[in-house]
Amino acid sequence: MLSIKDILKKLCATASPSGFESETAKVIAEMAEDAGLSHSTDALGNLIIHRPGVGRRVLLDAHMDTIGFLATFIDEKGFVRFDALGGISVCELHNIPVKFLNGTRGVISYEQKTELKDRKMSSMFIDIGAKDEKTAREAVLPGDAAYFDGELRELSGGRIFAPYLDNRIGCAVALHTIMNLKKCDYDVYAVFSVQEEVGCRGAKTAAYAVEADFSIVLDVTDSCDTPCFDGYGETGMGGGAAIKIMDAAAIAHPSIISALVDTAEKNDIAYQRDVITAGGTDTGNIQLSRAGVPTGGISVPVRYIHSPCETADMSDIEAAAKLLRCALETQSIIL
Ligand SMILES: [Zn+2]
């Protein structure tokens, strides 16, 4: 049986910048098939795994896309100019290795004349090592997508880092849970959504199609525990599963918040209350689908979100998975 860390490693070895999620979807679908679960893919590319049940219909959502880069043009010296897929700060992009989906590797760097404070995506480029424009065009064309070139690595004390823990973690929590659920009457649909990082687009159509009685979104949240963190919350690495109260796009349904808190306390699962005022998740679009869907979330605190070195604590990931499994198996959410 695959552990949640095994699943995470497999997902971190794939690429899925927003709009280009098919490789990751294939790996998730293969693991679901091995566990005897059926799956389908909708028109936008959302992967939907179904575990039938006779009870309330539950939508579990984890976005499988990641931030990335899109080539916009090749300049006369053979450097690839680009824009961001999703929210990326230029501060994260100084001499960083990236890889295009076609296998071409490169380094993101910047025009030397621009001061750090004046740097924009338009004054940066990807150096793919091409001698001139013609050679560059043989490797990369406008519209080709790239991503941070890195893998999952271990730190001390059960901590890990990788470029795309947002949201490989949510996908691993959802997949591990649906693969290992016992005695659950809920009719469970696990949606691995596309294009969250560019506006939570996939969750919108998937939520319409599933027509759930309620929904739980699995994602990451800011870990506000680094030196001089210029932030706003109390969530921190090692504090347990983060039960969503609010993000910038949604206020979680009170019955789901209290059911998750209750489940965590009854089952001795470490948890923390998650309030973030910047950054939304799929929660916002799901709760506004059709005539409204009561929605909550279980998140995992991550440091340095949207950088090449997103960092998390395995104990928080295990706690999030245990909380989700217990909530579904005890059917503690009654709506
Ligand atoms: Zn996310």
pLDDT tens-digit series, residues 174-195 = 999 999 999 899 999 999 999 9
Q: Are 41 and 47 in contact (CB under 8 A)?
A: yes
Nearest CA to 243 among 264, 214, 274? 274
Per DSSP, helices labelled H in the chain are 4-12, 22-34, 133-139, 165-180, 201-210, 254-266, 283-287, 314-329
Q: Do 82 and 173 fall within a single domain? A: no
Residues 240 and 181 in one domain: yes
Query: Is 221:283 a contact under the CB 8 Å cutoff?
Result: no
Using the predicted structure, report yes or no on whether residue 161 has a pLDDT greater than 80.
Answer: yes
Say what the pLDDT of residue 257 is. Answer: 97
110 with 190, same domain? no
Query: In the predicted model, what is the mean pLDDT of the chain?
Result: 95
pLDDT tier for residue 37 given thresholds of 50, 70 and 90: very high
Check whether residue 13 and residue 130 sit in a common domain. Answer: no
Q: Are residues 182 and 320 in the same domain?
A: yes
* Structural domain containing residue 122: 69-148
Q: Looking up tokens 């924009």, which residue turns up?
A: 120
Q: How far is ligand 1, taken at its centre, from the CA of residue 308, in Å?
A: 14
Cα-to-centroid distance, 195 and ligand 1 (Å)? 10
Same domain? 206 vs 272? yes
Report if residue 159 sits inside a domain.
Answer: no
pLDDT at 210: 94
Q: Summarize pLDDT for 88-128 with one digit per residue, the tens.
A: 988 889 899 999 999 999 999 999 877 878 888 989 999 99
232-282 pLDDT tens trace? 788 999 999 999 999 999 999 999 999 999 999 999 999 999 998 888 899
Mean pLDDT over 47-60 rounds to 96
Instruction: Give the residue numbers marked as catalytic.
Output: 196
Is 60 in the same domain as 208?
yes
Q: Which tokens go with 309?
A: 């070195």
Give the Å distance between the CA of 281 and the centre of ligand 1: 6
Residues 176 and 296 in one domain: yes
pLDDT of residue 116: 79
Question: Where a domain ends, among 122, 148, 174?
Answer: 148
Given this model, what pLDDT does residue 302 score? 97
- Same domain for 8 and 140, yes or no, is no
Query: Above 90 in pLDDT, residue 61?
Result: yes
Instruction: Name the DSSP class of 55.
Output: S
Per-residue confidence (pLDDT) for residue 278, from 0 to 100: 81
Indicate which CATH number applies to the domain containing 168: 3.40.630.10
pLDDT in tens, 285-323: 999 999 999 999 999 999 999 999 999 999 999 999 999
Query: 141 and 168 share a domain?
Result: no
For residues 85 and 190, is the Cβ–Cβ distance under 8 A?
no
Give residue 220's pLDDT band: very low, low, confident or very high (50, 70, 90). very high
Residue carrying structure tokens 């179904």: 50
Domain boundary among the residues 89, 121, 148 is at 148
Domain boundary among 148, 179, 214: 148
Distance 68 CA to ligand 1 centre (A): 13
Does position 158 have pLDDT exceeding 80, yes or no?
Answer: yes
Distance 282 CA to ligand 1 centre (A): 8
Q: Is residue 47 located within the same domain as residue 99?
A: no
Q: What is the pLDDT of residue 332?
A: 80
Measured in Å, residue 63 CA sits from the centre of ligand 1 at 7
267 part of a folded domain: yes
Percentage of the chain exceeding pLDDT 90: 86
Residue 267's φ and ψ, nearest 5 degrees, are -105, 15
- Structurally, the chain folds into a number of domains equal to 2
Domain identity same for 211 and 101: no
Whole-number pLDDT of residue 231: 67
